[in-house]
Structure 1
Amino acid sequence: MRKIAFFDTKPYDKEWFDTFIMNYDFEIKYFENKLNEDTVALAKGCEGIVAFVNDNLNEQVIKQLDDLGISIIAMRCAGYNNIDFKAAFNKIHVVRVPAYSPYAIAEHAMALLLTLNRKTHKAYNRTRDFNFSLSGLTGFDLHGKTIGVVGTGKIGQVFIDICKGFGMKVVAYDPYPISNVDFEYVGFEQLCQVADIISLHCPLTEQTHHLLKKETFDQMKDGVVIINTSRGALIESESLLEALKSHKVGAAGLDVYEEESELFFEDFSNVIIQDDVLARLVSLPNVVVTSHQAFLTQEALKHIAETTLNNLKAYFEGEPLPNEICYQCKKLNGCKKNHTERCF
């Protein structure tokens, strides 16, 4: 039975992985610790690891994993910007869960938009104190508004369908547009200029890092609403805060934050947060921050567990790895092997 080290374990992780583990020849060692230079030694005696989006898989961690005989990293998420692929290439294979539930992410993005617009978070707190005043709760019709969707992969497409159901006009930007669509592609600058609402559904790359910054906020309509359920570093946080303070941005719904790795998924309710930007964002009445929970549905958790275990099974049984990602895969032209065989 092969031993697998499972890092950054949450109760819902263990529940769903334990549901399916009896169908596989694995023994999982669960650790609540995030994976980093100080905790990597916990994987001693294991043949593979399961990691998450806020684990630190830098060059030093990769080297230590290699020294421990770890040959497979199974990410239980779609994102992989926390991995040093140059260090891993030709040493450790990396697999991921490319799409666990596009509906979960897209629906959460719309939930953030609806909450901000109709101010249900404020109304909820008021009525619990028997304050039934409607003052300050005015929203706007989504019908007829222009929404700019950045990224038209599976999640972006589902979100577009939801927006069209509300009668919104959709404009989209993607450096790799898909054909035969019922919405309009525009340049990124034009999207910023015409959109009443902008929702991010793209991966974090060198090209998209700080995609929204002071210069891009300056191009937007006054009072634009920003939604981000993708990766925190797509937005330069200090610039967003300044845009909110100046009313350039009318509201922001954030399920991710660029400095979230030491905060999100944990309880800091009795701690003074040292991140002044996040503390200010959370305090603003026109900002809703959720702790990277957009993926958190029963369907998504089930798919994450099954796909992760199947990825590990395929690796140890010498099968092709359709969900592998490597140094070459990160290049714009993609991996030449197209996942019909292993990346190395």
Structure 2
Amino acid sequence: MKILIYSAKDFEIPFLEKANKDIYQIKYIPERLTSKTAMLSLGFDVISIFSADDASSKVLELLFDFGVKYITLRSAGYDNIHLKTAHKLGIKVANTPEYSPNAIAEHAVALLLALNRKLILSNQQVTSYNFSLNNLIGFDLNNKTVGIIGTGKIGKVIAKIMLGFGCKVIAQDIDIDKGFTKQYNIEYVALSDLCRQSDIIMLSVPLTSETHYMIDADLIQLMKREVYIINIARGAVVNTSEIIEALKWNRITAYGSDVYEYEDRVFFYDRSEVKPNDELLQQLIDLPNVLITPHQAFATKEALTNIAETTFYNINCWQQKKTPENELTLN
């Protein structure tokens, strides 16, 4: 099987090479999968894509025409691939569902701590030999209420970490894990109640038609003005323009995010020489109560190892005419 890795990053290639064990012929390209780059897959049986790649119906039809039979995602989320079309075309798709919930959860908490304790501003001031504390006041996490929207594997790790800080944790999810609730004394509440009660809101849901723009102006009106919102889900889980307005008018206190609604245009690339023409992103960057990181939550050695190993586990199963447990296009 010949394999083409789209959106290959220098930092992940050594992990993929190690997991391959010199078994398959691999080509790495930095280009994203789009309708324009789909033709690069000609002659390859398998392609691997990342979260910023476009595997919409149109692109999948092109891949099918070029002979691609398998797609393995180097991500847990798969909102960027049209599974119904893949199934219709007979293209098998698998993802990487459990590469490291700890990496993502820990990054969410890092965003919260950095915002709350003004670490970025503090570092900037110290660099300028300004040792004043006037602008550096935060709050204790102990006894604060943390609302977690989405209690999958990542949400559960976030909950455990926040309980360790002495927080009260409430949650909202379409699936209530009663065992988890009982073990950790976590209460599931309606989304509106979570917004009203929480001092901190953590977003860790997949992007679906139901969660698209879940956090909008109407829900923000229910929240405390002091609320901190942390997003390690997907950028479009929040209505970015309405988040910006709420921040500008002090309707919410702070927003930390490792994702951005239109990140496929800019994230994972060095845009310092030619800055993107993205007014929405610029507004976020310019706001003093916003902390944006470039979708780096997964970037730990452990996570990259798991992603690479699962990528080749999926491929090995297909090579052996077996069905990987991560396959998404089952009947």
Asked whether the two chains share a fold, i.e. TM above 0.5, the reply is yes
Aligned length in residues: 326
Question: Partner of 2:59 in structure 1?
Answer: 61
Partner of 1:125: 124
Q: Which residue does the alignment assign to 2:306?
A: 303
Deviation digits for residues 263-318 of structure 1, max 9, x if unmatched?
11111112243211110111111100000000000000000000010101101211
Deviation at residue 223 of structure 1 after TM alignment: 1.9
State the alpha-carbon separation in 2 of the partners of residues 20 and 167 from structure 1.
Answer: 40
Structure 1 residues 13-70: Cα deviation after superposition (integer angstroms, max 9, x where no partner): 21111112126x3111000100011111111111010000000011121011111111
Letter matched to residue 96 of structure 1: N
Rounded to whole Å, the distance in 2 between the matches of 1:11 and 1:195 is 40
2:3 aligned counterpart, secondary structure: strand
* CA distance in 1 between partners of 2:225 and 2:128 (Å): 33
TM-superposed CA distance for 1:125, in Å, is 1.1
Write the mapping of 1:171-182 to structure 2, written as runs, cut at 5 A.
Answer: 171-180=170-179, 181=181, 182=184
Q: Counterparts of 1:157-306 in structure 2 under 5 Å?
A: 157-180=156-179, 181=181, 182=184, 183-306=186-309
In 2: Cα distance, 1:97 partner to 1:33 partner: 21
Identify unmatched segments of 5+ residues in structure 1: 327-342
Q: CA RMSD in A?
A: 1.0
The counterpart of 2:29, out of the listed 5, 28, 31, is 31
Q: Residue 119 of structure 1 contacts residue 137 of structure 1 at CA under 8 Å; is this kept in 2?
A: yes
Match of 2:81 in 1: 83
Which whole-Å deviations, capped at 9, do the CAs of 1:229-273 have from their partners, x for residues lacking one? 111100000000001011111001010011111111111112243
Contact 1:151–1:172 under 8 Å retained in 2: yes
Contact 1:199–1:226 (CA<8 Å) still a contact in 2?
yes
Give the AA of the match of 1:73. I
Query: Counterpart amino acid of 1:271?
Result: V
Q: TM-score, normalised by structure 2?
A: 0.97
Residue type of the alignment partner of 2:159? I
The answer to whether the Cα contact below 8 Å between 2:313 and 2:324 also exists between their aligned partners in 1 is no
Q: How many angstroms does 1:320 deviate by?
A: 2.0
Rounded Cα–Cα distance in structure 2 between residues aligned with 1:118 and 1:222: 18
Counterparts of 2:12 and 2:49, CA distance in 1: 11
- Conserved in 2, the CA contact under 8 Å of 1:273 and 1:279? no
- Aligned-residue offset at 1:319: 1.0
Q: How far did residue 73 of structure 1 move?
A: 0.4
Question: Which shows bigger deviation, 123-132 or 151-160?
Answer: 123-132
> Counterpart of 2:192 in structure 1: which amino acid?
E
| TM-score, scaled relative to structure 1 | 0.93
Q: Residue 18 of structure 1 aligns to a residue in which SS?
A: helix
Alpha-carbon separation, structure 1, partners of 2:222 and 2:277 = 31
How many angstroms apart in 2 are the aligned matches of 1:9 and 1:321?
A: 23
Give the partner amino acid of 2:80: N
What is the correspondence of 1:112-151 to structure 2 with a 5 Å cutoff?
112-151=111-150
Contact 2:141 2:165 in 1 (8 A): yes
Amino acid at match of 1:27: Q
Where do 5+ consecutive residues of structure 2 fail to align? Answer: none
Residues 8 and 52 of structure 1 are in contact (CA less than 8 Å); yes or no, is this contact kept in structure 2?
Answer: yes
1:66-119: per-residue Cα shift (whole Å, max 9, x none)? 111111000010011011122111320110000100000000000000000000
Paired letter, 2:219 = T
Contact 1:201 1:228 in 2 (8 A): yes
Percentage identity across paired residues of the two chains: 42
Q: Distance in 1 between matches of 2:46 and 2:30?
A: 17
In the alignment, the residues of structure 1 paired with residue 280 and residue 134 of structure 2 have an alpha-carbon distance, to the nearest angstrom, of: 28
